[in-house]
């Protein structure tokens, strides 16, 4: 078969020295280590090599080494060498060194592989042939929910603490449950997954005064089911127990995968988050395999995969469908990109964190229009950035639509590797090898400057502290302008920045009671403050800054109001380790920022319900309440339905706004609060200096954090080690399971490939506008009780408390299909209002999207989707394509597509069709209720124009966004999965 031949050819060429570039094989020798073989591109003696950007040199080395004349051809090598002329034109195939999966996207990928084994076994093929060909790491890190949390001890109120909307009548100890709002007088463990009974505990009164000598105490922890105190106040352990119990079926499946599939490494939950593991443990910089050393590279399904580029490792995000293809031996097909050189000059403002630098560069590059391009950083400013700073900057490249943001390895990176991945021997090998193939960057030698497609200069001294919001990450607001900007948002009409609150209602304050004390809520009041794992925790400096700020705040007598949902979910146990070692963790706890577990929580919509009194106050006043979080995802409605404004901020600024209790404040001129003596305390009074942060980081963090991670990896998980799973080559599907189900993607699999069929008489399932995200198409958060997915789960006798989230149930196609287009923020022009509903056009009935699709499928009617610009933007999410496919969608006609989502549609056999320039549904006067016929020729070619005819007699042309012959082949086969499965058939 094609796939087998590819691997046989590759192995034969390397082992038998018949490789087309065998003459480039060189040997690395030294007295300090054993000799290593490698492919040396410098032996091409081609002057164009040294002018290539460093990221393109990594692509070139891989293309040379993996060249087999089948998937990867010698012409690909020539195209990369001729990159200056071939960019945006030539197609090449790239084989990364490894694949990285997180569990939300990893579980559907592994379920597909298990289903492929079943399909091939039915055809008489050995199912053991289905294994990842490319080394794959799967990290279980996205299933944590905040069931338990401790909050701050609230001392006696200050009578002057009314400037930002809170008047406290009495002192309160603040036990704050993060789970269900159901109540009861005692807990007998009768709820599913609940361990043991509640014990009643009284809260000690908080200290009567506030001074520099602060007493740090434990606070009661409540049972999430009955709101009664439990005996053991260890929130992390309790949350981990709930996570393991809730997700046992998924974890048993992952355990089966780890034992059954070759070439896959599963990291169990509660070890680390995927991007942290990638940075701290999995990255090698230089890999060894097949008798050669070569640069590390990776494609991953986590949106933070690009962080690895900060360490000089080429990597970018792909969807679950593409990752499965790479796992099974298919290279990634890409058009040679333009590479933008970003020259960093100037000196960083001492008050600006790496997050400010990230957001400053994000805005700068977004305005430059670099979508789909590679970015490579150079210039004297690069040397001011630590390795963690670089990974934080590289993390945000999807936000300005670049594919990667690459920092070549230099002396600063090498210094970082001494504390992280490298033994002394490996460090010497790494440096010698990278220098031998000119992948090591020296900023002192101007002759090493590569040629770029264009150069953009960024002055780092122009960056000032910012936040981002209230609805989109690209809408940045200087901290000094925050109050004015928020008032403008209240005045503006409803849109990306506006809420349209009338002038007379902008001063509304709603009093409410919380745990016996009275408070006021107003527009701009902060009700959720979360320091979470997404962007920041790879960079110790910002987390330490938050901890040091918390220490100074507590010592200054400042507190956080008790109704604010506060949480601290680090991306790694090493973060807790260094926060504790540096002595700031008790002060974070004092302000309510208790470590509640490890994984993605608030950032993916897994936040707990707000107190009912808070929700009622928000609704009563129609208030624009706010969430502040330190992630990089804050789409409207994602945190909580009743929170309309969500701001991204650095961890220390999350703390600052939580203390202030409002975002409607100028932190430069207005105090955060008052101390016990009635004295105003300003942000400048408690902001830690860069010298303080750097001293703590250098002396405490770097040397210990990676040692701690390796210790955690070696110890493993007792729960995971004791977990039972099947031993069979085929997974024993449980028909009663609501988590793991065999999908129907391989039904009627045959060796023959059908010719493409035209789409006749299709109805639009949805008529959508601009910027429809993958969150709109396939939500990851909680399952609404009135949704189609909820009805299915209830039919399986599950209670709402047991629903879990869409992300956790991505291994069940029945749930995920019903959850497709289930976002409460979906704007469907067929019904004229938000929500997961659509019009069943033949009957004129408004139905759930799933119910309407079911009717169309019963009647044998194909479906399409009409959309505007940037369809499918946001996180890579394979169910955003799998769901529509199972609903019966054959094509999406949009003004433009997000690249990864376009790839997903092709990978599932759905045609991505683009309106011609200057045209859209409105200009063509489409009402969305027509029937559409799309003529697809049997000899389909890339980027071919197709004719669309409507039932009203109109016709128009669209561009079929099949970028290359491989895309066309995938579409003809009905998607990547069927393509790969057929390649294994005899």
Mean pLDDT for the chain overall: 83
Q: What is the pLDDT of residue 703?
A: 63
- Taking only the tens place, the pLDDT of each residue in 37-78 is 999 999 999 999 999 999 999 999 999 999 988 778 899 999
What is the model's pLDDT at position 2? 39
SS (H, E, C) 752-780: CCCCCCCEEEEEEEEEECCCCEHHHHCCC
Co-location of 602 and 486 in the same domain: yes
Asked if 598 contacts 569 with a C-beta cutoff of 8 angstroms, the reply is yes
Q: Say if residue 763 is in the same domain as residue 671.
A: no
Residue of 355, 383, 448 lying closest to 653 (CA atoms): 355
Q: What is the pLDDT of residues 100-138, one digit of tens each?
A: 998 878 888 999 999 999 999 999 999 999 999 899 999
User: What pLDDT score does 619 carry?
Assistant: 93
**What is the predicted pLDDT for the residue at 758?**
93
Q: Is residue 471 part of a domain?
A: yes
HEC letters along 673-704 = EECCCCCEECHHHHCCCHHHHHHHHHHHHHHH
Number of domains observed in the structure of the chain: 2
Taking 80 as the threshold, does the pLDDT of residue 445 lie above it?
Answer: no
Same structural domain, 545 and 684? yes
Q: Would you call 408 helix, strand, or coil by DSSP? A: coil
pLDDT tens for each residue of 870-925 = 999 887 788 999 999 999 999 999 999 988 899 889 989 999 999 999 999 999 99
- Is there a single domain that holds both residue 828 and residue 969? yes
* pLDDT tens sequence across 760-809: 999 999 999 999 999 999 988 889 989 999 999 999 999 998 888 888 88
For residue 473, name the pLDDT band (cuts at 50, 70, 90). confident
- What are the tens digits of pLDDT across the range 377-411? 999 999 888 888 888 889 888 778 888 999 999 99
Q: What is the CATH number of the domain that holds 915?
A: 3.20.19.10
What span, in angstroms and rounded, lies between the C-alpha atoms of 404 and 396? 9
626 shares its domain with 766: no
Last residue of a domain, one of 661, 688, 715: 688
Q: Angle CA(346)–CA(351)–CA(352) in degrees, nearest 5?
A: 60
Residue 182: which pLDDT band, with cuts at 50, 70 and 90? very low
Task: Give the model's confidence band at 449: pLDDT under 50 very low, under 70 low, under 90 confident, else very high.
Answer: confident
Q: What was the pLDDT predicted at 228?
A: 43
Quick one: angle between helices 976-983 and 320-327, nearest 10?
20
State residue 605's pLDDT score.
Answer: 53
The predicted model gives 938-959 an average pLDDT of: 95
Question: Residue 146 — very low, low, confident or very high, per pLDDT cuts 50/70/90?
Answer: low
- Range ranked top by mean pLDDT from 286-290, 422-426, 637-641, 692-696: 286-290
When pLDDT is cut at 50, 70 and 90, the band that residue 178 belongs to is very low
What DSSP assignment string belongs to 771-829? --BHHHHS--SB--TTSHHHHHHHHTT--GGG--BTGGGTT-HHHHHHTTT--TT-EET
- State the pLDDT confidence band at 26, using cuts at 50, 70 and 90: very high
Quick check: is 248 in a domain?
Answer: no
Domain membership flag for residue 578: yes
What DSSP letter does each residue of 262-321 carry, written as one string? TTEEEEPTTSB-HHHHIIIII--SEEEETTEEEE-EEEESSTTGGGGGGGT-EEEE--HH
Positive/negative CA dihedral, 828, 832, 833, 835: negative
**How confident is the model at residue 535, as a pLDDT?**
47
Co-location of 585 and 474 in the same domain: yes
Q: 150: which strand partners?
A: 175
Position 954 pLDDT exceeds 50: yes
Q: What is the pLDDT of residue 717?
A: 73
Share of the chain above pLDDT 70, in %: 84
With residue 883 as reference, give the H or E element that holds it.
helix 879-887
Looking at residue 46, its pLDDT comes to 94
Reported confidence tier of residue 5, pLDDT bands at 50, 70, 90? very low
Give the pLDDT confidence of 147-173 residue by residue, as tens digits: 766 544 333 333 333 333 333 333 333
Q: In the prediction, which pLDDT does 53 show?
A: 97
Give dist(CA 916, CA 648) in Å, integer.
36
Categorize the per-residue pLDDT at 539 as very low, low, confident or very high, splitting at 50, 70 and 90. Answer: low
Examine the domain organization and report whether 820 and 939 are in the same domain.
yes
| Both tokens assigned to 484 | 């004015």
Angle at 939 between CA 934 and CA 940, to 5 degrees: 55
pLDDT at 206: 32
180 occurs within a structural domain? no
Short-list 785, 893, 769, CA closest to 826: 769
- From the centroid of its chain, how far is CA 671? 35
pLDDT > 90? residue 631:
no
Does the structure show a pLDDT above 90 at 596?
A: no
* pLDDT at res. 635: 52
- The pLDDT, as a whole number, for residue 204 is 31
Same domain, 566 and 673: yes
The number of beta carbons lying within 10 Å of the beta carbon of residue 593 is: 30
Within a domain: residue 900? yes
Mean pLDDT of 609-624: 92
Average pLDDT over residues 298-317: 91
Q: What is the pLDDT of residue 600?
A: 59
pLDDT of residue 538: 54
Domain span at residue 786 reads 759-984
The CATH number of the domain holding residue 540 is: 3.30.499.10
Residue ending a domain, among 688, 720, 742, is 688
| pLDDT value at residue 195 | 32
SS (H, E, C) 950-976: ECCCCEEEEEECCCCHHHHHHHHHCCH
Task: Reply yes or no on whether the pLDDT at 575 is more than 90.
Answer: no
Indicate if the pLDDT at residue 276 is higher than 90: no
What does the pLDDT look like over 801-815, one tens digit per residue?
Answer: 888 888 888 899 999
Looking at per-residue pLDDT, the higher value among 847 and 148 belongs to 847
Per-residue pLDDT of 664-706, as tens digits, reads 999 989 999 998 888 999 999 999 987 788 677 766 776 666 7
- Residue 46: inside a domain: no
- Paired tokens of 930: 């027509």
pTM: 0.70
pLDDT at 185 over 80: no
Question: Is 898 in the same domain as 783?
Answer: yes
What pLDDT does residue 379 have?
A: 93
Q: Give the residue from 641, 667, 688 where a domain finishes.
A: 688
Residue 615 has pLDDT above 90, yes or no: yes
CA dist., res. 813 & res. 801, Å (int): 20
Q: Is residue 14 part of a domain?
A: no
- pLDDT bin (cut points 50, 70, 90) of residue 728 is very high
Residues across the chain: 986
Q: What is the pLDDT of residue 267?
A: 87
The verdict on 681 and 776 lying in the same domain is no
Average pLDDT rounded to a whole number, residues 570-598: 84
355 assigned to some structural domain: no
My answer on whether 663 and 770 are in the same domain is no
The 10 Å CB-count burial string (b at 16+, else e) for 275-301 is bbbbbbbbbbbbbeeeeebbbbbbbbb
Same-domain status, 891 and 774: yes
Question: Looking at per-residue confidence, does 819 or 236 come out higher?
Answer: 819
pLDDT at 951 (0 to 100): 96
CB atoms within 10 A of CB 795: 9
């Amino acid at each position: 078969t094609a796939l087998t031949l590819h691997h046989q050819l590759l192995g034969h060429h390397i082992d038998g020295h018949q490789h087309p570039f065998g003459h480039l094989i060189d040997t690395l020798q030294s007295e300090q280590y054993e000799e290593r073989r490698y492919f040396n591109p410098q032996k091409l003696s081609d002057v164009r090599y040294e002018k290539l950007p460093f990221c393109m040199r990594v692509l070139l080395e891989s293309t040379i080494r993996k060249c087999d004349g089948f998937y990867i051809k010698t012409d690909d090598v020539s195209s990369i060498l001729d990159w200056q002329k071939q960019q945006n034109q030539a197609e090449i195939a790239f084989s990364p060194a490894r694949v990285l999966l997180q569990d939300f996207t990893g579980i559907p990928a592994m379920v597909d592989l298990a289903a492929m084994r079943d399909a091939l076994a039915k055809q008489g093929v050995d199912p053991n042939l289905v294994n990842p060909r490319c080394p794959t790491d799967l990290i279980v890190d996205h299933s944590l929910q905040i069931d338990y949390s401790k909050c701050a001890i609230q001392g006696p109120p200050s009578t002057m603490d009314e400037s930002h909307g809170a008047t406290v009548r009495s002192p309160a100890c603040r036990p704050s449950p993060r789970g269900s709002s159901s109540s009861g007088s005692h807990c007998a463990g009768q709820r599913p997954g609940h361990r043991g009974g509640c014990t009643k505990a009284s809260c000690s009164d908080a200290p009567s005064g506030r001074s520099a000598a602060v007493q740090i105490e434990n606070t009661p922890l409540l049972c999430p089911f009955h709101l009664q105190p439990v005996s053991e106040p260890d929130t992390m352990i309790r949350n981990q127990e709930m996570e393991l119990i809730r997700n046992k079926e998924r974890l048993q499946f992952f355990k089966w995968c780890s034992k059954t599939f070759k070439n896959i490494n599963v990291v169990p939950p509660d070890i680390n988050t995927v991007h942290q593991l990638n940075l701290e443990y999995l990255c090698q910089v230089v890999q060894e395999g097949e008798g050669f050393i070569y640069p590390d590279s990776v494609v991953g399904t986590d949106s933070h995969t690009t962080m690895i580029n900060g360490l000089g490792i080429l990597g970018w995000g792909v969807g679950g469908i593409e990752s499965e293809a790479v796992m099974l031996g298919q290279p990634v097909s890409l058009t040679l990109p333009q590479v933008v050189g970003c020259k960093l000059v100037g000196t960083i403002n001492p008050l600006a964190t790496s997050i400010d630098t990230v957001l400053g560069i994000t805005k700068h590059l977004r305005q430059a229009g670099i979508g789909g391009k590679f970015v490579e950083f150079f210039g004297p400013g690069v040397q001011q950035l630590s390795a963690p700073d670089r990974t934080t900057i590289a993390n945000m490249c999807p936000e300005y639509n670049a594919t990667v943001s690459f920092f070549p390895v230099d002396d600063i990176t090498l210094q970082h590797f001494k504390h992280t991945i490298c033994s002394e021997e490996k460090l010497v090998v790494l440096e010698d090898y990278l220098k031998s193939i000119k992948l090591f960057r020296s900023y002192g030698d101007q002759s090493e400057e590569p040629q770029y497609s264009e150069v953009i200069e960024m002055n780092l001294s122009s960056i000032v502290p910012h936040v981002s919001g209230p609805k989109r990450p690209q809408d940045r607001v200087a901290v000094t302008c925050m109050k004015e900007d928020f008032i403008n948002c209240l005045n503006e009409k409803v849109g990306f920045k506006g809420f349209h609150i009338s002038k007379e209602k902008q001063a509304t304050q709603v009093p409410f009671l919380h745990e016996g004390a009275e408070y006021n809520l107003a527009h701009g009041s902060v009700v959720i403050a979360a320091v979470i794992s997404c962007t920041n925790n790879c960079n110790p400096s910002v987390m330490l800054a938050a901890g040091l700020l918390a220490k100074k705040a507590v010592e200054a007598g400042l507190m956080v109001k008790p109704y604010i949902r506060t949480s601290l979910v680090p991306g790694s146990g090493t973060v807790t380790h260094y926060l504790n070692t540096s002595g700031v963790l008790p002060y974070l706890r004092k302000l309510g920022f208790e470590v509640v577990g490890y994984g993605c929580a608030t950032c993916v919509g897994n936040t707990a319900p707000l107190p009912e009194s808070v929700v009622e106050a928000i609704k009563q006043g129609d208030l624009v309440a706010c969430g502040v979080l330190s992630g990089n995802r804050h789409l409207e409605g994602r945190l909580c339905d009743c929170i309309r404004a969500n701001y991204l901020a650095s961890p220390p600024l999350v703390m600052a706004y939580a203390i202030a209790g409002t975002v409607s404040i100028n932190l430069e001129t207005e105090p955060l609060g008052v101390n016990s003596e009635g004295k105003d305390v300003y942000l400048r009074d408690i902001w830690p200096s860069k010298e303080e942060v750097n001293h703590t980081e250098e002396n405490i963090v770097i040397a210990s954090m990676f040692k701690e991670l390796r210790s955690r990896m070696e110890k493993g998980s007792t729960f995971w080690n004791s977990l039972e799973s099947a031993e069979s080559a085929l997974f024993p599907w449980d028909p009663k399971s609501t988590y793991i189900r065999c999908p129907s993607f391989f039904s009627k699999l045959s060796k023959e490939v059908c010719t493409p069929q035209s789409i006749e008489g299709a109805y639009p399932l949805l008529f959508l506008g601009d910027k429809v995200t993958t969150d709109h198409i396939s939500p990851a958060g909680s399952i609404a009780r009135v949704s189609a997915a909820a009805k299915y789960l209830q039919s399986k006798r599950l209670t709402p408390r047991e629903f879990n989230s869409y992300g956790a149930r991505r291994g069940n196609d029945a749930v995920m299909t019903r959850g497709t287009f289930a976002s409460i923020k979906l704007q469907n022009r067929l019904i004229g209002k938000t929500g997961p509903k659509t019009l069943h056009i033949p009957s004129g009935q408004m139905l759930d999207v799933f119910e309407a699709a079911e009717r169309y499928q019963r009647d044998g009617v194909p479906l399409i989707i009409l959309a505007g610009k940037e369809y499918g933007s946001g996180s890579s999410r394979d169910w955003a394509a799998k769901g529509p496919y199972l609903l019966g969608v054959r094509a999406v006609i949009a003004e433009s597509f997000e690249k990864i989502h376009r790839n997903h549609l092709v990978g599932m056999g759905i045609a991505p069709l683009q309106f011609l320039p200057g045209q859209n549904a409105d200009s063509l006067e489409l009402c969305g209720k027509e029937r559409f016929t799309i003529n697809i020729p049997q000899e389909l070619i890339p980027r071919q124009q197709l004719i669309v005819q409507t039932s009203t007699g109109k016709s128009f042309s669209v561009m079929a966004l099949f970028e290359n012959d491989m895309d066309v082949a995938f579409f003809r086969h009905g998607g990547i999965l069927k393509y790969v499965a057929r390649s294994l058939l005899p």
